[in-house]
Amino acid sequence: MDALLVVHFLTRPFGDNHSLGTSISDCLELINERWVLEMSHELREGNKCMDHLANLAQDLALGVVLPHTPPMSILSLLQ
């Protein structure tokens, strides 16, 4: 799903029968937990590291992955 679409879902009202309603509600519930955050859309050309990580994530199984070191393929972008 495109990141701009996600920002749209999380910052605008949605119908009760929306197909992603449960997921959107769960996200909004987490967002409303006294966190201070700002949602915005960054063009992938503006953030090459995040774009690279998002592309790597396409090949992973569902779930949370917390790497302890950056993937070797991103090191040139970090320098």
Please report, in tens digits, the pLDDT of each residue of the chain (79 residues total).
567 887 887 888 777 777 877 888 888 888 888 777 777 777 766 788 888 888 888 877 777 777 788 888 888 887 7
Give the pLDDT score at 2. Answer: 66
Give the pLDDT score at 58. Answer: 82
How big is the chain, counted in residues? 79
Q: Cβ distance 19 to 37 under 8 Å?
A: no
Give the pLDDT score at 43. Answer: 75
Phi then psi for 4, rounded to 5 degrees? -65, -35
